[in-house]
Amino acid sequence: MIINHPILGPRDAQEFVYLGDASLIHRPDGLTASIEAFHDYTYLRANPAGLHRELWYHEQGDRSWLVVTRNTVTHEITSVELARDVARSEGRSK
């Protein structure tokens, strides 16, 4: 597969390490969240057959974590963003 890196352009997916569902961005706070909430965050997945937002790490490249939107049936990739930008835009900070 080819991932169109937002900074570096098309790169072989072999340079990347896959993590999974980009919902992992929304980590609850361990001091306030319930174990149930943390369980859902850590263990449950929508696992769609179709568009899937997922985290890839450009380990053999520029070390950026990316949010890739990919169709899990056709493998077509429709958007690639820097995970840091996505995380900030979705409210993550410190």
Contacts with another protein by CB under 8 A lie at 1-2, 7-8, 12-15, 17-21, 24-25, 27, 29-31, 33, 35-36, 38-40, 42-49, 52, 54-55, 57, 59-65, 70, 72-77, 82-84, 87-88, 92-94
Segment holding 65, helix H or strand E: strand 65-71
Least Å from the CB of residue 23 to another protein: 10
Distance of CA 64 to the CA centre of its chain: 11
Q: Are 70 and 32 in contact (CB under 8 A)?
A: no
- Give the residue with the Cβ less far from another protein, 59 or 79: 59
Q: How far apart are alpha carbons 37 and 11 in whole angstroms? A: 36
Nearer to another protein, 27 or 79 (CB): 27
Residue with smaller CB distance to another protein, 60 or 79:
60
d(CA 81, CA 79): 7
